[in-house]
Amino acid sequence: MNPMRRAQGFTLLELLIGMTLVGFILTLLFAGLNLGTRSWEAGEQRMVTASRQAIVVGFIRHALEQTDPLRWRVDGEDQLAFAGEAESLRFVGSVAMHDGASGNHLIALDLADGEVGRDLVMRWQLPDSRAPGFGLLEETKPKVLVKAVRGMAFAYFGAEADTEEPAWHDQWLHQKAPPELIRLRLIMENGETWPDIIAAPRIRTE
């Protein structure tokens, strides 16, 4: 190359090529940084979601395990305080109070209209010996456990009669004892299916 031309600096074409290469490199670096940031945020969100899911699953399983075989007198007959259907469950169990104390409550798990689809809600109320049944729950404010639920299905494992083998049923009504197992399956509005929540009620002596 001519020494006089080298002393004059880079040509316009050389500058354009250099700036193009620098821009291309910066674009690749920015795209990689952006992808890394989005991946980090997505992973963090999944961790938060999984953590909340584990807390809710543990809470529901614990509540189901505390099912108490309470019986009340209705129309001259003893009835088990347990009404299990496909999309709702009403039973008597232990609920921890804010001061650390606990005691038997009427408990309901069912679906209610939410901002997106339906929500899994829980209601509880102290029983009243003068008013047997779950009617008192209708007056209590529901607590949202899971939002944006597309579908919910309870199932109950046990023998409905002494002559039958235990099996899964979509209802457990007017039985002598709570089921051996209770299963709850949740499908979210985003298509996600939660792991089945399966609990074995700790049936205590009446």
pLDDT in tens, 149-192: 999 999 999 998 888 999 999 999 989 899 999 999 999 998 88
pTM over 0.85: no
Alpha carbon distance 190, 105 (integer Å): 33
User: Is the pLDDT score of 206 beyond 60?
Assistant: no
Beta strands in the chain (DSSP E): 71-74, 77-80, 82-84, 88-96, 102-113, 118-125, 143-158, 167-169, 181-188, 197-199
Task: For strands 71-74 and 77-80, give the pairing.
Answer: antiparallel
**For residue 22, what are the CA distances in angstroms to 9, 13, 16, 35, 36?**
19, 14, 10, 20, 21
**For residue 44, what are the CA distances in angstroms to 16, 123, 146, 176?**
42, 31, 20, 47
For the segment 141-146, the average pLDDT, to the nearest whole number, is 93
Query: How many residues does the structure list for the chain?
Result: 206
The encoded tokens of residue 135 equal 């009617």
The encoded tokens of residue 170 equal 């979509």
Task: Look at 31 and 143; give whichever has higher pLDDT.
Answer: 143
- Nearest-Å Rg of the Cα atoms of the chain is 30
